[in-house]
Amino acid sequence: YERIVKAVHIAWKTCSGLFVGILIILFVVAIILTIFYNDNPNFSNPLASLYSAFRLFSIEGWYEIPDEIASNSGIVKAFFTKTIFSFIVFFGGMVGMGFLTSVITDELASDNNDEVLERLDRLEKLIKEKR
């Protein structure tokens, strides 16, 4: 239990800056989407926009939102919308969230690696003493 708590604490210290950065980007994207698409129910107010932006970042039903906007828009706005939302999903969802997940996983694994390396060093010392 203590190892898990220690590993989570180390992972949180390492990832907290990245997590805060992604939250800031999420808020900025939500505000920009509220400004551009306030006529759509998904972006009618900042709270709804924040939820919709989170859906885009988490890649949960991301295609439904731009398709809905594009179906009620002209061809230029539809193209612009699908392009912008694709970039948001790619950079916010795939790259951003993927990077956050990989950093957390790496930190949790590195804690285990540190313990293994420490044991290996002790084993090497024992072998040298026995020679």
* Each residue's pLDDT tens digit, 42-64: 999 999 999 999 999 888 888 99
pLDDT at residue 75 in the model: 94
pTM of structure = 0.71
The pLDDT tens digits of the residues spanning 83-112 come to 999 999 999 888 888 887 887 777 767 656
pLDDT at residue 112 in the model: 62
Instruction: State the Cα–Cα distance between residues 8 and 31, nearest whole angstrom.
Output: 32
Instruction: State the Cα–Cα distance between residues 23 and 63, nearest whole angstrom.
Output: 22
Are 41 and 48 within 8 A, CB to CB?
yes
Instruction: State the Cα–Cα distance between residues 58 and 36, nearest whole angstrom.
Output: 21
Alpha helices in 37-97 (DSSP H): 46-57, 64-71, 75-88
